[in-house]
Structure 1
Amino acid sequence: MIVDKAIYVAGHRQDIDGDISDAFDEARAKDECFVWIGLFEPSESEFELIRDELKLHPLAVEDAVLAHQRPKFERYDDTLFFVLKTLAYKDETSDIEVGEIMVFMGQDFVVTVRHGIGNPLGPVRERLEADPELLDHGPTAVLYAVCDEVVDRYGVIAHEVEVDIIGLERSVFDPRSDDVTADIYSLKREVLEFRTAEDPLIPVLQEIVKGRVAECSGTREYFRDVLDHLLRVDGQVDSHNELLTSILTAHVALLGKQQNEDMRKISSWAAIIAVPTAVAGIYGMNFDHMPELHWALGYPVAIVVMVVACLIVYRKLRKNGWL
């Protein structure tokens, strides 16, 4: 569905009250004028009018309607098509929910298509409308603002992931905590999903910064700033992934150490139990000639021998740190 639509003349907004086609005609007829249409999870029929009016390529329209695309930049004649991944972080589950924003950009129009809950574009539009000088750059200003908002959100989520990693690290070295193996793997999977969202965007922005997208030549400095932020986030994601790997390795080592300690204790108690078992086993044999069987003190002496032997073995194992 269409969530917002407006025509911008010299950086100033004018609402579209009539037919969208008339707004496009006006934008084509005037200088420093373009139309910005914002859509949220549109169906193919909802996109049909815009597709026909702007003569958008069917493959790009299909990508925008169906979503599930990787970040990319494609050119279809005079129309540029960008795909960005949006992220939303759920604190209660430490899950990252992935969405998408598609941007169609031409000389006198920009169409943004959003899927998922991440990065609503209302605040982006408001920020741009409060800065007519920036908005006067035309559709490329909208593309910059969308990229800037998405990358800034990446930075916020990177910090939230870091907080969760610190919590996991403390749990690993806290003997009172429950097993966190599943939590480590879950967060590591989310970090890898984070990486698949932000990493492919780097070459897209590099193309713009290097001047290979002529339509964005007037805003290269802005995109350079976005690229710097994205590279910093990319480094943070790499660090998060490496730290989670180290935490997992330490956790496995601690589990192995605990298992070894448990095995030593089990073996120690087995050795202690073996002493009375051996004595009882000897006296349990059915031999006729066993003088101790007819000795009046044989039973209490055997008990004392077993107790003393068990105490000696216990103290020896205790001294060696096995118990």
Structure 2
Amino acid sequence: MPAIPSLGNLRGRNNRRHQHPAPTEEQAHVVDCGVYVDGLRLPGQWSPVDAITEARRRRDGFVWIGLYEPGEEQLQGIAEVFGLHELAVEDAVTAHQRPKLDRYDETLFMVLKTVRYIAHESPTTANEIVETGEIMAFLGKQFIVTVRHGKHSGLQSLREELEGQPDRLQIGPAAVLHGIADRIVDSYLAVSEAFEGDIDVIEASVFAPRSPIGAEQMYLMKREILELRRAVMPLAVPLRRLAEGYTPLVPEQVRSYFRDVDDHLTTVSERVASYDELLTTLVDATLAKISLQQNTDMRKITAWAAIIAVPTMGVGVYGMNFDYMPELHWRFGYPLVMCVIVTACFILYRIFRKNRWL
């Protein structure tokens, strides 16, 4: 059996594009169904039953069926053909699963979370930054069935790249599973790099004077990084199992490449963990900044209230209807009182200004 080519050779090749008739309404959930023998795709349009029959007849072939958000009845028909476990089928229909790897008899069931970075003008005004989806993969000796949830998680380009590398597909369906995992982890790297730019903008805004950013936007960023973390962190254990020989369905030459994917995932995990810690610090800094601004506002209000209390008290005293008041009948009494009030207010203003209350 030939050695699996390097990942670098997989990218950038001219790929062949297969044209297929439009699926019938009953088969609309089947995105593509191909039979591969010696790494080459057999021509023609195949139904799932005919495909697995042909692969078993050839012995050295396998089937790759791609499904997009199938219903329970639709997936149940595929499950009967390939002997998929009912618990795994239920998870594949329901979706919203954590990344995991389960073994059912001679079949592996793997769940991977897909992520997509949503472009926006500024992270300080965005409502959503990360969109997630799911890819479930059923791996058998002569088949791999992929179930996608989410519009951004298409595998057509990956299928074309793999079909441009027959020596890679000659390994079997485990090479397809590796290609899917590698593609998804690469998307994690791209999203994490884009997220880093957003965090730099947020960090600069938090510590900028009179920045408009508030706690709500910081919590949004925190929520988005947690969504990315839920996709990345749980995948480490399944990848490590595949790299360590968890099942004979993954040959040794593919395990070494799963180790490479696991290394890339470790890099992403470290980035996401650091982003999470930094955002926690920025949230605390934002709350402290808001609290400081509130204290500053309260000091200003208190200072002005103290200044206004002086004329209020003076006017209140001289507004009383008494005959015997200081300088009440003196010609210059009113101007003198006004001068005293203005002077007292000015002195208080200078004191508060010196203490930076105003």
Take 2:46 and 2:195, find their aligned partners in 1: how far apart are those partners?
A: 46
Residue 216 of structure 1 aligns with which residue?
A: 250
Take 1:58 and 1:240, find their aligned partners in 2: how far apart are those partners?
A: 39
Contact 1:16/1:23 (8 A) holds in 2: no
Take 1:276 and 1:291, find their aligned partners in 2: how far apart are those partners?
A: 16
Any residues of structure 2 matched to 1:1-323 within 5 Å, and which? Answer: 1-92=29-120, 93-218=127-252, 219-323=254-358
Take 1:209 and 1:52, find their aligned partners in 2: how far apart are those partners?
A: 29
Q: What displacement does 1:176 show?
A: 4.4
RMSD: 1.7
How high is the sequence identity, in percent, across the aligned residues? Answer: 50
Take 2:66 and 2:261, find their aligned partners in 1: how far apart are those partners?
A: 22
- What secondary structure sits across from 1:290 in the alignment? coil
- What secondary structure sits across from 2:141 in the alignment? coil
Take 1:136 and 1:222, find their aligned partners in 2: how far apart are those partners?
A: 15
Q: What displacement does 1:143 show?
A: 0.4
Contact 1:11/1:132 (8 A) holds in 2: yes
Q: What displacement does 1:61 show?
A: 1.5
Aligned length: 323
Take 1:18 and 1:71, find their aligned partners in 2: how far apart are those partners?
A: 30
Task: Tell me whether 225-234 or 273-282 shows the greater mean CA deviation.
Answer: 273-282
Q: What displacement does 1:128 show?
A: 1.0
Letter matched to residue 220 of structure 2: S
Higher relative contact order, structure no. (Cα contacts within 8 Å, ≥ 6 residues apart)? 2
Q: How has the CA–CA distance of structure 1 residues 291 and 307 changed in structure 2, closer, same or farther, with 3 Å as cutoff?
A: closer
Residue 4 of structure 2 aligns with which residue?
A: none
Task: Tell me whether 22-31 or 179-188 shows the greater mean CA deviation.
Answer: 22-31
Contact 1:119/1:149 (8 A) holds in 2: no
Map Cα deviations across residues 179-201 of structure 1 (whole Å, 9 max, x no partner).
42111101111111111111111
Q: What displacement does 1:18 show?
A: 4.5
Q: What displacement does 1:300 show?
A: 0.8
Take 1:291 and 1:46, find their aligned partners in 2: how far apart are those partners?
A: 98
Contact 2:33/2:46 (8 A) holds in 1: no
Q: What displacement does 1:316 show?
A: 2.1
Q: What displacement does 1:231 show?
A: 0.9
Contact 1:5/1:36 (8 A) holds in 2: yes
Letter matched to residue 88 of structure 1: R
Map Cα deviations across residues 13-71 of structure 1 (whole Å, 9 max, x no partner).
11343543232122113243111111111123332432222121122112222222211
Q: How has the CA–CA distance of structure 1 residues 19 and 268 changed in structure 2, closer, same or farther, with 3 Å as cutoff?
A: closer
- What secondary structure sits across from 2:312 in the alignment? helix
Take 1:31 and 1:314, find their aligned partners in 2: how far apart are those partners?
A: 93
Letter matched to residue 353 of structure 2: R
Take 1:224 and 1:176, find their aligned partners in 2: how far apart are those partners?
A: 48
Q: What displacement does 1:170 show?
A: 2.1
Map Cα deviations across residues 211-249 of structure 1 (whole Å, 9 max, x no partner).
222221321111001101111111111111111111111
Task: Tell me whether 88-97 or 207-216 shows the greater mean CA deviation.
Answer: 88-97
Letter matched to residue 170 of structure 2: D
Task: Tell me whether 164-173 or 296-305 shows the greater mean CA deviation.
Answer: 164-173
Take 2:116 and 2:190, find their aligned partners in 1: how far apart are those partners?
A: 10
Q: How has the CA–CA distance of structure 1 residues 98 and 18 changed in structure 2, closer, same or farther, with 3 Å as cutoff?
A: closer
More helix by share: 1
Contact 2:102/2:109 (8 A) holds in 1: yes
Q: What displacement does 1:269 show?
A: 1.2
Take 2:356 and 2:47, find their aligned partners in 1: how far apart are those partners?
A: 85
Map Cα deviations across residues 151-176 of structure 1 (whole Å, 9 max, x no partner).
11111111222222222222222344
